[in-house]
């Protein structure tokens, strides 16, 4: 074996050293970057080794033999002879270049005779012309057909886009790299049809990411898409979007069948950037952003608050809370702030502050959130290499600052990536892809008796003053956030992939990879004792913060997957055949250990060792594995008739032996009409017209909550709430019921698609229609009489069917120096339950024919306006008592004179009916962009055209019958009272009497459709001339805004995308609106 020598490892080592000071790398000055760049150039110039291996790069040739330098002139036109201005002309391998003028003319000085000129212009194919000593070179640029030549990453390989037969969307890393979002998923919103996001209970919390599905809910047990990064399953959040080369979204069965075991609900393949042979390319990007909450409710003033509360007490037949004397003082305080003490001692207990005489006028949101949080994002990458060795190294840092005024939270993400590849011999390439991600979050400790802060803040009423008479914080939530303990999560993930590629012959390749991913996460949670102050200024420990405690939870996980696959390609005549086959194994292990200890000696030194109280220890340990054998055949005839057949045979550890294995086949075919001879006359206009069809079956093994769902085991628990002797003992509970018969869920997808490109590919079009059936689904537990005394077993007991479509249409063109593009995406999906065991038709369970997401409730007639109306109305005693003016009148749908739920079954639903559906329908995205002389402007609008939601709760109604939970915003003042009989909201009650008016009903069903300006970018790329003087490759500065405008019919208290909340709809961390200034530098 001949020994090859390459200079690249040296560069690699230098680069690595350069990156190793990662934490401080952004502080490196540009000059040092320049210095490095010139070093790198010098390496390239000492080109002996290039000679040895016969790899003479054009740039090197220029430097080695650049004897004569002379000017070159010329004119640039398109293939219709029109002059093209603004075309970039660069001497390959150098920074020297210019752009063409108005008449398409250009001039370049000092061009070496043997140089190569590179002509590039948006919308046109790049053209390279060797100078060969000529002084006049005219260029004719061809309009870009590159889109047809585009290569798409598919499972275990790549494929030309024109030859795809499955439903695959691909977007490039460049499309999302300047987005100021904390995670990749959010950046994809509105970019990929039928990739649907939803923000859960964590909302816009720093570091939180939305959940997402492809083509609608796959399973009632919540199947989610399978995400692989360079072939290894990964959490999308651990990826730095700047490292992404491309993202493929595999939607139908044929596209994802090769991942059978885990791909039932779609696959997302992320490919990271790799080094390319050539000079080192260094790029840096930096973003500085201000962030604020997108939507915050508007709080009423103290008098409005007290008035509505009093009305609520009166309506419930109770004594009012705020006597007139108190309200008069509130008015006085509002008119003349500071004229009264805002807190007074309790007359019955003079050292306590009186909770009934509070004369603040506080907007707790203004107090709770900062006006702006500061975020920043920095990325540095170096890539390059020679024929024998390529590298891509990158480091990124994303910091999200505190949005809280009192809470000093943060989210930091650091990523280090190295993708290295070496051609060891002519037939063997080995590579190492390694990625380390660290994510660190801090937030205020959440005191369990308080609940979460988003639940608490709405309840810090306007009457509360911020500070007590002695100047201490008077609102316990603020005190807890400010002085309470902190909860710090530290997540570390290290992935190493060893990749081997063997070229047995020119057409026969073998690939093997070994992937090892390790996670080490820890959470340290300090519950600190917080003090508030009594009238005489003595501190009083807040009861919910006693005793103080410290808890540590450590999680470690190990994941290994091994892939071995081989492919053989042949092209007999106009036939093309490619065969691929392989095996895969996976093993995943994880373990959690958690310890908490109470009664710290001091809160200043908080750890397990400084606590003297009770110790609680918990933990879990588990593992699972899969095995699979897979194969794929691709065939086409003249790229006109396309066929793909693939299959996978999979086994999983999660089912018992006899139910463990499953076969998942798929087939797809395509017909590119534009390739037919008879199409020739039209080929100018329509260059692609492809029909596609696919059909296939996939499996899902994931049942949340258990790795061993077919085995029954006893629950072992610690810390019984009962002391025996001196300790809280262990207790063991009975095993649940399991179904040993449990096996795979399967999905079967039928997909039809049409792709087209027209008018020199300025117009592109793609449409897919699909039907996905999920069978043997791990449905919800069936209902059995309660005498069973335990949850029935999980079973493969349900089926459902999703139908939908995706449409994308793009147009890009140029008018003179102005180029522009527009893209419209539209998608939809609807899901129906097709099988579920519910013999009695109980409405609280799923039933056959039910549409997923349906909202069942009463129809509303309106608000009663008089006792007479109540008397004439139907009997509503099933719902509640004491009906009167201002209460809701429901519709007696079945005409029996009573409003009720019947037996709450399909055959007797009483007066309930389907009033809406909360599935987001017709999701769309519209992106528009223009660029002109270095300026570029891009917009992304995203929305949902149809969606109903039932919100309910305090956030919606203001009061839900419980004084402690009352939450009054401007909108809530429109409640029924004798002088406001046309009110939207019913009359308030301060007891559970309220329940009768807040039943799920049509009147208060909300329209959650929305349109949102997700992203706006305005950038300017500095002219090449300026940049040259700075010895830079390119410089772009830009402004980016996220979540800038929202249009919705929803009650203004809510954000249409952020409707969850552990304590009720809307009680959730708001989504951020960010304004970013950024810069991107390329050094060449």
Question: Given the complex with other proteins, which of 66 and 841 has the nearer CB atom?
Answer: 841
Is residue 743 within the footprint of other proteins (CB under 8 A)?
Answer: no
878 touches other proteins by CB under 8 A: yes
Is 536 one of the binding residues for other proteins (CB under 8 A)? no
Q: Does 146 bind other proteins (CB under 8 A)?
A: no
Contact string (CB under 8 A) for other proteins, positions 544-583, x = contact: --xx-x------------x-x-x----------------x
Q: How far is the CB of 1049 from other proteins (least distance, A)?
A: 32
Q: How large is the angle between the packed helices 8-20 and 30-45, nearest 10 degrees?
A: 170
Q: Closest CB to other proteins among 329 and 1036?
A: 329
Q: Which of residues 991-1010 bind other proteins (CB under 8 A)?
A: 991-992
Burial class (CB in 10 A: 0-12, 13-18, 19+), 727: exposed
Q: Report the sign of the C-alpha dihedral through residues 830, 836, 839, 843, in that order.
A: negative
Kindly tell me which residue out of 34, 318, 594, 760 binds other proteins, with binding defined by CB under 8 A. Answer: 318
Measured CA to CA, the distance from residue 1074 to residue 1044 in angstroms comes to 8
Distance CA 834, CA 799 (A): 5
Q: Does 963 bind other proteins (CB under 8 A)?
A: yes
CA pair distance 700, 708, nearest whole angstrom: 15
Chain positions 349 to 368 lying near other proteins, rule: CB under 8 A, are: 349, 351, 355-356
Q: Single out the residue of 103, 619, 1023, 1025 in contact with other proteins (rule: CB under 8 A).
A: 619
CB-neighbour burial class of residue 501 (10 A; exposed 0-12, middle 13-18, buried 19+): middle
Task: Please report how close the Cβ of residue 626 comes to other proteins at its closest, in angstroms.
Answer: 8
Nearest Cα neighbor of 742 from 800, 799, 657, 801 is: 657
Give residue for tokens 């008089």: 866
Is the CB of 22 or the CB of 500 nearer to other proteins?
500
φ and ψ at residue 26, rounded to 5 degrees: -70, -15
- Say whether residue 512 binds other proteins (CB under 8 A): yes
Q: Which is nearer to other proteins, 198 or 349 (CB)?
A: 349
Q: For residue 885, state whether it binds other proteins (rule: CB under 8 A).
A: no
**Which residues between 820 and 859 bind other proteins (CB under 8 A)?**
840, 842, 844
Give yes or no for a contact between 648 and 145, defined as CB atoms under 8 angstroms apart: no
Identify which range of 124-132, 319-327, 851-859, 1002-1010 contacts other proteins by CB under 8 A. 319-327
Convert residues 404-443 into a mask of x (bound to other proteins by CB under 8 A) and - (unbound): ---------------------x-xx---------------
Q: Is 486 in the site for other proteins (CB under 8 A)?
A: no
Total binding residues toward other proteins, as defined by CB under 8 A:
112
Say which residue the tokens 């190493």 belong to.
Answer: 496
Q: Give the integer Cα–Cα distance in Å for 166 and 669.
A: 8
**Nearest distance in Å: CB 994, other proteins:** 11
What's the closest the beta carbon of residue 415 comes to other proteins, in angstroms? 30
Rg (alpha carbons) of the chain, rounded to whole number: 33
CA 89, chain centre distance (Å): 39
450 binds other proteins (CB under 8 A): no
In angstroms, rounded to a whole number, what is the distance separating the alpha carbons of residues 489 and 461?
31
How far is residue 175's CA from residue 274's CA, in Å, rounded to a whole number?
Answer: 17
Q: How far is the CB of 296 from other proteins (least distance, A)?
A: 27
- Point out which span in 188-196, 318-326, 1014-1022, 1026-1034 binds other proteins (CB under 8 A): 318-326
Q: What is the rounded CA–CA span in Å between residue 293 and residue 1074?
A: 9
> Is 871 among the residues that bind other proteins (CB under 8 A)?
no
Phi-psi category of 573—alpha, beta or left, where left has phi over 0 and alpha has psi -120 to 50? Answer: left
Measured from the CB of residue 705, what is the shortest distance to other proteins in angstroms? Answer: 12
Least separation in angstroms between CB 356 and other proteins: 6
> Residue 246 CA to chain centroid, in angstroms?
16
Of 39, 727, 851, 896, the residue at the interface with other proteins (CB under 8 A) is 727
Contact 864, 847 (CB under 8 A): no
Question: Facing residues of 566 across strands?
Answer: 510, 581
Which of residues 35, 56, 174, 504 is near other proteins by CB under 8 A? 504
Counting contacts by CB under 8 A, is residue 875 touching other proteins? Answer: no
Please report whether residue 616 would count as binding other proteins according to CB under 8 A: yes
Find the part of the chain contacting other proteins (CB under 8 A) among 75-83, 542-550, 850-858, 942-950.
542-550
Q: Are strands 1006-1007 and 921-932 parallel, antiparallel or unpaired?
A: unpaired
455 binds other proteins (CB under 8 A): no
Residue 913, interface with other proteins (CB under 8 A)?
no
Q: 101 vs 841, which CB is nearer to other proteins?
A: 841
Among 281, 394, 626, 1048, binds other proteins (CB under 8 A): 626
Instruction: Pick between residue 900 and residue 927 the one whose CB is nearest to other proteins.
Output: 900
Report 1017-1076 residues binding other proteins (CB under 8 A).
none
Q: Which two tokens stand for residue 724?
A: 């025996």
* Three-state secondary-structure class, residue 221: coil
On whether the CB atoms of residues 626 and 585 are closer than 8 A, the answer is yes
Whose Cβ is closer to other proteins: residue 101's or residue 323's?
323
- Binding status of residue 917 toward other proteins by CB under 8 A: no
Q: Which is nearer to other proteins, 622 or 862 (CB)?
A: 622
Task: Say how many CA atoms lie within 13 Å of 1054 toward its Cβ.
Answer: 29
CA 363 to chain centre: 32
User: Does residue 159 contact residue 576 with C-beta atoms inside 8 Å?
Assistant: no
Tokens encoding 637: 């005839």
Task: Report the nearest approach of other proteins to the CB of residue 359 (Å).
Answer: 14
Question: Is residue 964 involved in binding other proteins (CB under 8 A)?
Answer: yes
Whole-angstrom Cα distance, residue 387 to residue 391?
Answer: 11
The interface region with other proteins, picked from 247-255, 322-330, 471-479, 635-643 by CB under 8 A, is 322-330
Identify which of residues 146 and 724 has a Cβ nearer to other proteins in the complex: 724
Identity of the residue, 130 or 880, whose beta carbon is nearer to other proteins in the bound complex: 880
- Under rule CB under 8 A, residue 868 binds other proteins: no
Q: DSSP letter at 996?
A: G
- 292 counts as binding other proteins under rule CB under 8 A: no
Question: Which among 72-80, 391-399, 437-445, 711-719 is the span making contact with other proteins, rule CB under 8 A?
Answer: 711-719
Binding other proteins by CB under 8 A: which of 730, 818, 1045, 1062? 730
Of the residues 905, 917, 980, 1034, which one makes contact with other proteins according to CB under 8 A: 905
Question: Binding residue for other proteins (CB under 8 A) from 27, 67, 716, 871?
Answer: 716
Owner of token pair 């997957």: 561
Angle separating helix axes 30-45 and 58-65, nearest 10 degrees: 80
| Exposure on the CB side of residue 101, measured as CA atoms within 13 A | 7
How is residue 333 written in tokens? 């305080």
Candidates 498, 500, 671, 1020: give the one binding other proteins (CB under 8 A). 500
Interface characters, 785-814, with other proteins (x: CB under 8 A): xxxxxx-xx---------------------
Q: Is 133 in the site for other proteins (CB under 8 A)?
A: no
CA distances from 1030 to 30, 31, 622, 1022 (A): 10, 10, 57, 11
192: left (phi over 0), alpha (psi -120 to 50) or beta: beta
Q: How far is CA 882 from CA 320, 875, 876, 976, 994, in A?
A: 19, 11, 10, 16, 10
List the interface residues with other proteins, window 590-609 (CB under 8 A): 598-599
Q: What pairs with residue 120 in β-bridges?
A: 88
614 binds other proteins (CB under 8 A): yes
CA atoms within 13 A on the CB side of 299: 22
**Beta partners for 969?**
299
Residue 63 CB, shortest distance to other proteins, in Å, is 37
């Amino acid at each position: 074996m001949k020994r090859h020598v390459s200079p690249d490892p040296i560069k690699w080592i230098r680069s690595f050293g350069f990156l190793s000071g990662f934490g401080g790398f952004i502080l490196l000055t540009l000059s040092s970057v320049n210095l490095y760049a010139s070093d790198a150039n010098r390496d390239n110039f000492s080109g002996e080794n290039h000679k040895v291996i016969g790899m003479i790069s054009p740039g090197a040739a220029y430097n080695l033999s650049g004897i004569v330098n002379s000017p070159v002139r010329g004119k640039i036109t398109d293939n219709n002879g029109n002059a093209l201005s603004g075309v970039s002309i660069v001497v390959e391998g150098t920074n020297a270049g210019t752009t063409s003028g108005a008449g398409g003319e250009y001039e370049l000085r000092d061009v070496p005779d043997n140089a190569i000129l590179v002509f590039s212009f948006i919308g046109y194919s790049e053209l390279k012309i060797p100078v060969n000593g000529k002084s006049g070179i005219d260029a004719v640029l061809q309009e870009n057909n590159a889109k047809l030549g585009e290569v798409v990453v598919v499972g275990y390989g790549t494929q030309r886009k024109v030859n795809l037969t499955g439903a695959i969307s691909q977007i490039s890393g460049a499309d999302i790299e300047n987005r100021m979002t904390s995670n990749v998923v959010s950046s994809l919103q509105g970019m990929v049809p039928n990739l649907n996001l939803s923000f859960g209970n964590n909302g816009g919390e720093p570091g939180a990411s939305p959940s997402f599905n492809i083509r609608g809910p796959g399973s009632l047990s919540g199947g989610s898409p399978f995400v692989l990064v360079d072939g290894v399953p990964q959490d999308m959040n651990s990826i730095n979007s700047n490292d992404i080369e491309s993202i493929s979204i595999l939607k139908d069965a044929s596209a994802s069948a090769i991942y059978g075991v885990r791909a039932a609900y779609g696959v997302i393949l992320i490919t990271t950037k790799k080094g390319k042979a050539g000079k080192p390319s260094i790029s840096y990007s930096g973003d500085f952003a201000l962030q604020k909450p997108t939507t915050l409710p508007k709080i009423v003033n103290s008098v409005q608050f007290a008035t509505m509360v009093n009305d609520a007490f009166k309506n419930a037949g109770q004594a009012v809370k705020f006597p007139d004397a108190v309200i008069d003082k509130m008015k006085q305080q509002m008119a003349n702030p500071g004229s009264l003490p805002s807190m007074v001692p309790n007359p019955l207990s003079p050292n306590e502050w009186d909770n009934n005489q509070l004369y603040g006028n506080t907007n707790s949101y203004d107090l709770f959130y900062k006006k702006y949080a500061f975020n920043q994002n920095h990325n540095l990458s170096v890539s390059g290499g020679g024929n024998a060795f390529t590298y891509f190294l990158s480091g990124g840092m994303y910091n999200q600052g505190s949005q809280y005024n009192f809470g000093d939270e943060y989210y930091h993400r650091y990523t280090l990536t190295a993708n290295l590849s070496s051609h060891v011999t002519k037939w063997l390439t080995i590579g190492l892809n390694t990625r380390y991600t660290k994510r660190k979050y801090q937030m205020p400790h959440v005191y369990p008796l308080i609940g979460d802060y988003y639940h608490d803040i709405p309840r810090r009423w306007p009457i509360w003053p911020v500070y007590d008479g002695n100047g201490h914080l008077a609102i316990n939530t603020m005190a807890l956030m400010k002085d309470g303990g902190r909860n710090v999560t530290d997540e570390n993930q290290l992935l190493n992939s060893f990749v081997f590629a063997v070229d047995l012959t020119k057409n026969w390749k073998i690939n093997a990879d070994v992937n090892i991913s390790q996670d080490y996460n820890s959470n340290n949670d300090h519950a600190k004792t917080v003090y508030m102050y009594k009238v005489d200024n003595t501190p009083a420990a807040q009861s919910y913060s006693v005793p103080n405690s410290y808890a540590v939870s450590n999680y470690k996980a190990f994941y290994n997957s091994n892939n071995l696959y081989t492919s053989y390609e042949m092209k007999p005549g106009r036939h093309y055949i490619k065969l691929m086959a392989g095996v895969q194994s996976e093993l995943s292990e994880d373990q959690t250990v958690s310890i908490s200890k109470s009664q710290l000696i001091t809160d200043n030194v908080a750890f397990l060792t400084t606590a003297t109280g009770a110790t609680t220890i918990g933990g879990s340990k588990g593992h699972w594995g899969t095995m699979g054998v897979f194969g794929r055949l691709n065939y086409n005839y003249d790229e006109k008739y396309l066929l793909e057949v693939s299959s996978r045979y999979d086994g999983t550890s999660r089912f018992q032996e006899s139910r463990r294995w499953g076969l998942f086949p798929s087939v797809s075919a395509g017909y590119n009409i534009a390739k037919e001879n008879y199409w020739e006359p039209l080929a100018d206009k329509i260059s692609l017209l492809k029909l596609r069809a696919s059909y296939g079956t996939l499996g899902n093994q994931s049942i949340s909550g258990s790795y061993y769902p077919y085995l029954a085991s006893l629950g072992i628990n610690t810390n019984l709430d009962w002391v025996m002797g001196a300790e809280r003992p262990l207790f063991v509970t009975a095993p649940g019921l399991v179904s040993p018969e449990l096996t795979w869920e399967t999905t079967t997808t039928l997909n039809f698609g049409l792709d087209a490109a027209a008018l020199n590919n300025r117009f592109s079009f793609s449409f897919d229609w699909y039907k996905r059936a999920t069978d043997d689904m791990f449905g919800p537990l069936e209902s059995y009489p309660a005498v069973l005394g335990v949850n029935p077993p999980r079973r493969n007991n349900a089926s459902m069917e999703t139908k939908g479509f995706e449409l994308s249409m793009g147009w890009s063109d140029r008018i003179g120096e102005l180029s522009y593009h527009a893209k419209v995406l539209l998608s939809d999906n609807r899901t129906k339950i097709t099988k579920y065991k519910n013999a009695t038709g109980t409405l609280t369970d799923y039933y056959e024919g039910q549409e997923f997401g349906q909202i069942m409730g009463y129809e509303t007639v309106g608000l009663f306006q008089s006792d007479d109306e109540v008397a004439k109305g139907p009997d509503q005693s099933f719902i509640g008592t004491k009906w009167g003016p201002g209460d809701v009148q429901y519709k007696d749908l079945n005409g029996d004179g009573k409003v009720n739920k019947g037996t709450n079954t399909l055959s007797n639903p009483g007066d309930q009916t389907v009033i809406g559906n909360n599935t987001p329908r017709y999701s769309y995205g519209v992106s528009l962009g223009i660029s002109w002389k270095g300026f570029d402007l891009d917009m992304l609008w995203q929305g949902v055209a149809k969606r109903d939601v039932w919100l309910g709760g305090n956030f919606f109604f203001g009061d839900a019958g419980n004084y402690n939970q009352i939450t009054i915003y401007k909108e809530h003042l429109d409640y029924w009272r004798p002088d406001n009989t046309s009110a939207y909201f019913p009359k308030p009650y301060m007891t559970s009497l309220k329940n009768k008016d807040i039943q799920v009903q049509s009147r208060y069903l909300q329209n959650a459709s929305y349109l949102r300006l997700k992203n706006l970018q305005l950038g300017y790329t500095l002219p090449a001339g300026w940049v040259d003087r700075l010895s830079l490759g390119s410089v772009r500065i830009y402004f980016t805004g996220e979540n800038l405008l929202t249009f919705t019919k929803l009650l203004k208290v809510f954000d249409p995308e952020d409707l969850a909340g552990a304590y009720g709809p809307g009680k959730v961390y708001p989504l951020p609106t960010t304004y970013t200034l950024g810069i991107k530098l390329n050094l060449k």
